[in-house]
Amino acid sequence: MEKSKVEFVYKNISSLNKISIVNKKIFRILPYICVPSLVIGAIAVFLKEVLPTYIRLVCLVIFLLTYLMWLVSFFFEYIFLFLWKCPVCKGKFPWYQTTLGYLGGEGSRLVNKEVKDICDRKDKKIALIQYENSNLIIPQKCPHCGEVIWKK
């Protein structure tokens, strides 16, 4: 898979790719934010006699925001199940699922492998690109209907 500057024919393909990059970055830093956030949450709950109310409130807000960020990232990874497809024929494109990789889960699982296999077929070879930090594999042409997705 090559990584080079290409021109996307469809804007939403480019936008989804950007979402994937941002999302993966958030997922990478989340564990480092979640641990302090849990500590802050615990402080807010267990030291309620000691701390002034406004500090506990700030702690709880930080804790809830981190939790929300995690939920949103989780949601944005899974929107590719529904949105990562050809803009013309709605045929699915392949992508990697990495969400729980750092929890020891099955990291980097290829979703829609059968579509990638179609792209890799010798008689119908379709160029694929994947941006650094993006989970999405972008075929040059739609493996289902042949619509051009990006140009050099």
Burial of residue 80 (number of CB atoms within 10 Å: 0-12, 13-18, 19+):
buried
Amino acid at 25: K
Instruction: Write the DSSP string, 15-75.
Output: HHHHHHHHHHHHHHHHHHHHHHHHHHHHHHHHTTTTS-HHHHHHHHHHHHHHHHHHHHHHH
Which residue from 118, 109, 34, 37 is spatially nearest to 78, judged by alpha carbons? 109
- In the list 91, 109, 118, 140, the residue contacting Zn ion (rule: CB under 5 A) is 91
Q: Report residue 147 as tokens.
A: 């619509």
Q: Using the rule CB under 5 A, is 86 a contact of Zn ion? A: yes
Nearer to Zn ion, 57 or 145 (CB): 145
Q: Using the rule CB under 5 A, is 141 a contact of Zn ion? A: no
Nearer to Zn ion, 19 or 149 (CB): 149
Cα separation, 149 vs 92, whole angstroms: 13
Q: Using the rule CB under 5 A, is 147 a contact of Zn ion? A: yes
Nearer to Zn ion, 44 or 142 (CB): 142
Task: Select the span of 9-17, 50-58, 64-72, 143-151 touching Zn ion (CB under 5 A).
Answer: 143-151
Nearer to Zn ion, 87 or 105 (CB): 87
Residue 10: DSSP 8-state: S
Nearer to Zn ion, 59 or 86 (CB): 86
Amino acid at 118: I
Task: Select the span of 1-9, 51-59, 88-96, 105-113 touching Zn ion (CB under 5 A).
Answer: 88-96
Q: Using the rule CB under 5 A, is 118 a contact of Zn ion? A: no
- In the list 38, 68, 89, 148, the residue contacting Zn ion (rule: CB under 5 A) is 89
- Report the interface residues with Zn ion, using CB under 5 A: 86, 88-89, 91, 142, 144-145, 147
